[in-house]
Structure 1
Amino acid sequence: MPQQKAVIIGAGIAGIAAAIRLAVKGYSVEVFEANSYPGGKLSEIELNGYRFDAGPSLLTMPQYIDELFTLAGKIPANYFKYQKLDVVCKYFYPDGTKLNAYADTKKFAEEINTQTGEPAASVVNYLANSRDIYSITNHVFLERSLHRLQTYMRWDTLRSIFRFPQIDPFRTMHKANSKSFKDKRVVQLFDRYATYNGSNPYQAPATLNVIPHLEHHFGAYFPKGGMYSVTQSLVKLAEELGVKFHYNTNVDEIVLEGIKVKGIKTKAELIAADIVIPNMDIWFTYKKLLKNHPQLHPQKTLGQERSSSALIFYWGIKKNFHQLDLHNIFFSADYKSEFDHIWQQHGIYHDPTVYINISSKYKQDDAPAGCENWFVMINVPANNGQDWDKLIAGARKNIQQKLSGILGGDITPLIACETILDPRSIETKTSSYKGSIYGTSSNNQFAAFLRHANRSSKVEGLYFCGGSVHPGGGIPLCLLSAKIVADLTPTPPPFFAEK
């Protein structure tokens, strides 16, 4: 019997992880990628002697990466190394307050108490609640398909369902955080975690208050080779397992035969496959690759509100700023107005919260001597035809003024080089509809249940992974989507190569 074949469309982190898992399972695996490089959002940019990680800049839950190497019988540290951060992030407030978010819970709570007067016990209790939400949701809602009856027949699932009110789905994040803390600066700090999946803390359910647990219990990390080393190490592993990558190759269609997958079609040929796994935004999967099968399109899912996007300036900076660390947040003075601009007005607030990632703090060759590589990001709405050139020009000016004021000197002359990523280019480079980084938003208490399933209920052999399907966006959840897909796919019969 010939070896069963799996085709994966897109070499994003979920697609690479799915390729590894299916190769280990016994499939012959080929990955087709439109770009000339792997990684999708998890790629890199080189500019005038500066190197930037293009997309995700925070590493949490590295055990999900290690698991892939272990699964393949390899020693993870031989491929991928990382170090735990003592300080997860530095926060800068408009009133001059500066705060170090230590990874250690007790130290973090004491820092908040010292800088804001908020009782340390409030922080400790809050993070304990974050832990409880994680314990209820993780194994049931994140590591398994929510679209199979078997999931709900398990005792641990039923136990989690009985504890559903404890995950706080009926309040918004902001209401829950305002109840937990008296100081508005602390409320703002924990509200920002809604942006980790492109949502609005004034609308998103308080269930998302699970996210701080990931940083302050499991920790935040820096990969020794920068974030792009995640992609590089996993591609190396996949290739060692026999996975074939085809770059600069657009897939034009998922080919069906009745209600069964037959393969894919590229410009050059028809590639037969037993299973096909798109690792691209679900909107493009249906509208482009299954455009001839409108009866299969899940209209309600495709019509859901999209997540927010990002505007990123990659700046080569001709100076070292010792007051900055790997991760830095400069808060807006009016968080509610900032989110109203994103979600109601579909524009950019004049005083946005600014995130700066500087990987050269840990990987010095990412910038020339005496310089730093600044990844400067603000949250922006999805692309709905706004005048982005005008919005970008205004945002650049406002961000430079804001940072110059807080850092005590004009940063504009220090910018040696610049390149930009905005919702338009995010869409074209990563097949993310409207530039939405996380697919659909989580501004709904039932958002987890409304995400697209990891397996088609209408087409045999069609599966889905990546940030726009269950369980969601971000590196850990994308890796889990690959795990769920691998668990759902049938184990192929033993294959014996002909001698």
Structure 2
Amino acid sequence: MNKQRALIIGAGIAGIAAALRLQKKGFQVAIFEASPHTGGKLHAIQQDGYRFDLGPSLFTMPHFVDEIFTLYNEKPETHFEYIKKNRVCNYFWEDGTQFQANAQVDDFIVEAAKTFGENEENIKNYLERNKEKYDLTASLFLERSLHQAKTYFTKDTFKAITQLYKLNLSENLNAVNEKYFKNPKLVQLFNRFATYNGSSPYKTPGIMSMIPHLEMHFGTFYPKGGMHEISQSLTRFAEEKGVRFHLNTKVNNIISSGEKVVGIETDQGTFDGDLVVSNMDVFNSYRNLLKDAKKPEKTLQQERSSSALIFYWGIKKEFPELDLHNILFSEDYKTEFDYIFNKKELFEDPTVYINITSKETPTDAPKGAENWFVMINVPANYGQDWEKLKVKAKIAILKKIEKCLGVDVSHLIETEYCWTPVSIENETSSHRGSLYGASSNSKWAAFLRHPNFSSQYKNLYFCGGSVHPGGGIPLCLLSAKIVADLIPNA
């Protein structure tokens, strides 16, 4: 008897995870990827003796990766290893203030209170409220489809609805943080978590204060071999379990017959399937692959999340004051976000994030050197002159580094690579180069993300950062789980 066939469009982290889950459910699974590599944004390059992770640089909630290996009753550590970080992030301001965020919550509270002159009890209460928000909403908003009636007839849903007042849905994240803290630097530190879903802390609802809970409660981790190893370990595992990868194979159309999808058309021919899962950005799924479908225009026209401009620099010096994750803050955070989301321009004083994997994997850089992943948040691609803006950004970044670290690193750069929103859009098919699909700059944004299934066509599903529950590695993995839970065993 022939197995039912599941066709996955896109070999991003969600597509690979969905493939493994469906393979376990008895499907014969094939993944079709236009690029020559798997992983989507989770990619890497080697250049002049340096290794750089190109895409996501923060790894949290590794149990969602482990879960895929344990699904097959195998030990995750035999396929994928990681370490927990004792230091979450180093923060720097131009006036010389520095703060090392400790992974131990009690130590973080004590050290933050001392550094920022805040009351320990206020910080503790803030973190406890963040945990409460997560506990109230995780099973509803993150782990299930919001677009099925049965989701709303549960004890968890009733509990969340009766305690909506605790979720701060009617005020923005900045307003919530200002209620707890007097020091603008600590407000800024917690405001930055809005960028974890590509949003503005001055627009995104206060419920997003639960994001620091994910980082502080579950911890931050480093995959041995770098972030790229997340996607590559799952790729190897998928191949071992019988998933077939078709790389360099662009999908041009999802084939439907009446109200049912029956396969896909690719550059390499037509493939029949009993179900199709699109891991492509949902905007491009409709515009390019579902040309005859009725388009959910309200969803597709949602404001895009922020994008990124990233310089990958080989730095011929070591900086002991820096760690894996480092933030150099803008002096005017509110104006920075106004430029990103309202003016769609670059601010002259950007917040700079520096990720250095050679701190954990010394072979990622030559001896005595470091591989710097240097990123600023920027607007999505609306036709700006990114080559011109790249030059402007580099000048602003170097200035910020010199002001915060007291060093001119321009003469220390011995190799350089760059990703702009255009690069991201072209190489990962992310609409306008946005990192997280739609932004979360409204209190209903979570409800407006596209569902994980099609209401028009039977056997058509969607996963990845542009659909429910959102962007980032943990949520992409959850989207794959939601899709698999919607599909009966083969």
| TM-score when normalising by structure 1 | 0.97
- AA partner of residue 383 (structure 1): N
SS of the equivalent of 1:65 reads helix
| Residue 157 of structure 1: aligned partner | 157
Question: How far apart are the structure 1 equivalents of 2:407 and 2:329?
Answer: 18
Q: Map Cα deviations across residues 315-336 of structure 1 (whole Å, 9 max, x no partner).
A: 0000000110000000000001
SS of the equivalent of 1:265 reads strand
Poorly superposed stretches of 4+, deviation over 4 Å: none
Q: Map Cα deviations across residues 369-388 of structure 1 (whole Å, 9 max, x no partner).
A: 00000000000000001111
Question: How far apart are the structure 2 equivalents of 1:313 and 1:446?
Answer: 34
- AA partner of residue 438 (structure 2): T
- AA partner of residue 200 (structure 1): S
Deviation, structure 1 residue 27: 0.3
| Residue 275 of structure 1: aligned partner | 275
- AA partner of residue 86 (structure 1): N
Structure 1 residue 93 corresponds to structure 2 residue 93:
yes
| Residue 309 of structure 2: aligned partner | 311
| Residue 17 of structure 1: aligned partner | 17
Structure 1 residue 108 corresponds to structure 2 residue 108:
yes
Out of 474, 482, 485, the position equivalent to 2:483 is 485
Out of 470, 473, 488, the position equivalent to 1:472 is 470
Question: How far apart are the structure 2 equivalents of 1:158 and 1:257?
Answer: 40
- AA partner of residue 152 (structure 2): Y
Question: How far apart are the structure 1 equivalents of 2:137 and 2:101?
Answer: 25
| Residue 360 of structure 2: aligned partner | 362
Deviation, structure 1 residue 404: 2.0
Question: How far apart are the structure 1 equivalents of 2:238 and 2:165?
Answer: 41
Q: Map Cα deviations across residues 83-126 of structure 1 (whole Å, 9 max, x no partner).
A: 11111000001211000111111111111122111112221111
Deviation, structure 1 residue 237: 1.1
Structure 1 residue 301 corresponds to structure 2 residue 299:
yes
After superposition, residues 409-424 of structure 1 pair within 5 angstroms as 409-424=407-422
Structure 1 residue 446 corresponds to structure 2 residue 450:
no
Question: How far apart are the structure 2 equivalents of 1:413 and 1:311?
Answer: 21
| Residue 455 of structure 2: aligned partner | 457
Q: Map Cα deviations across residues 115-140 of structure 1 (whole Å, 9 max, x no partner).
A: 11111222111110110010011111
Deviation, structure 1 residue 490: 2.0
| Residue 321 of structure 1: aligned partner | 319
| Residue 406 of structure 1: aligned partner | 404
- AA partner of residue 251 (structure 1): V
Question: How far apart are the structure 2 equivalents of 1:122 and 1:331?
Answer: 23
Identical amino acids, percent of aligned pairs: 54
The answer for unaligned runs of 5 or more in structure 2 is none
Question: How far apart are the structure 2 equivalents of 1:161 and 1:233?
Answer: 40
SS of the equivalent of 2:343 reads coil
| Residue 218 of structure 1: aligned partner | 218
After superposition, residues 41-440 of structure 1 pair within 5 angstroms as 41-291=41-291, 293-294=292-293, 296-440=294-438
Deviation, structure 1 residue 274: 0.5
- AA partner of residue 276 (structure 2): V
Q: Aligned residues, how many?
A: 490
Question: How far apart are the structure 2 equivalents of 1:112 and 1:154?
Answer: 39
- AA partner of residue 489 (structure 1): I
Question: How far apart are the structure 2 equivalents of 1:235 and 1:17?
Answer: 9
SS of the equivalent of 1:463 reads strand
- AA partner of residue 327 (structure 2): I
Deviation, structure 1 residue 464: 0.2
Deviation, structure 1 residue 409: 2.2
Question: How far apart are the structure 2 equivalents of 1:162 and 1:447?
Answer: 20
Question: How far apart are the structure 2 equivalents of 1:471 and 1:144?
Answer: 8
Question: How far apart are the structure 2 equivalents of 1:121 and 1:355?
Answer: 29
Deviation, structure 1 residue 160: 1.7
Provide the alpha-carbon RMSD of the alignment: 0.8
| Residue 495 of structure 1: aligned partner | none
Question: How far apart are the structure 1 equivalents of 2:144 and 2:313?
Answer: 40
Deviation, structure 1 residue 484: 0.1
| TM-score when normalising by structure 2 | 0.99
SS of the equivalent of 2:211 reads helix
Between stretches 233-242 and 189-198, larger displacement belongs to: 233-242
The answer for unaligned runs of 5 or more in structure 1 is 493-499
